[in-house]
Chains A and B, each alone.
Chain A
Amino acid sequence: NAGVTQTPKFQVLKTGQSMTLQCAQDMNHNSMYWYRQDPGMGLRLIYYSASEGTTDKGEVPNGYNVSRLNKREFSLRLESAAPSQTSVYFCASSRSRGDTYGYTFGSGTRLTVV
């Protein structure tokens, strides 16, 4: 099925460990995004890539890095995980930034840092 695929779906990390969350879309979208979702706070933008070869910080970028590997793939890296990064992470894509046709989201990665 066409859409946004995220891996892994679940992950438990120890404080200080690193990991990369993978995201791929097969809709030929130009823009991709990483959000985190915490109870009562909605979705907060971590980083985005308006087009292949560009990345920009969002609202909560500290502690994260991203790579737009190609048009399809956009990864999120936690270099040294902290308990405050326990959250559900969503990758999304759109035809262009601010696309009125909306974002397509993956099913999320539930990350726990202990």
Chain B
Amino acid sequence: TQLLEQSPQFLSIQEGENLTVYCNSSSVFSSLQWYRQEPGEGPVLLVTVVTGGEVKKLKRLTFQFGDARKDSSLHITAAQPGDTGLYLCAGLIQGAQTLVFGQGTRLTINP
């Protein structure tokens, strides 16, 4: 059973379109992080959210933490081919010592 469910698992869209990736759980998280991974490399941290309802922006990427701290979303505006990659959410469950990862969303942006 996956503690963090990401959807969709695969997404292929055209350059310029908008998209949203979701990360959901029945558990409450102390914090939630989003990583991006390129082929042959390890995941790289994009953002950490810690407060329910928190919204963070990173250029064309907008990250939101749910009010109840059980879910998060990543929205990309005007996607570009350089956004292609595997996006992973990861959360620290309250009282736990290590991050748990979602299964990832493989995003392909076609020129």
Interface residues of A (CB under 8 A from B): 4, 33, 35, 40-45, 48, 50, 56, 58, 90, 92, 97-98, 100-108
Interchain CB contact under 8 A, A98 and B92: yes
Give per-residue flags for B11-47: 1 if the beta carbon is below 8 A from chain A beta carbons, else 0.
0000000000000000000110101000011111100
Give per-residue flags for B30-66: 1 if the beta carbon is below 8 A from chain A beta carbons, else 0.
1101010000111111001010000000000000000
A104 to B92, CA, bound (A): 15
- A98's partner among B2, B45, B97, B104 (CB-CB below 8 A) is B97
- A105's partner among B30, B42, B48 (CB-CB below 8 A) is B42
Chain A residues closer than 8 Å to B99, beta-carbon distance: 45, 98, 103
Interchain CB contact under 8 A, A106 and B42: yes
Interchain CB contact under 8 A, A40 and B31: no
Number of interface residues of B (CB under 8 A): 28
Chain A residues closer than 8 Å to B103, beta-carbon distance: 40-42
Interchain CB contact under 8 A, A42 and B2: yes
Interchain CB contact under 8 A, B40 and A108: yes
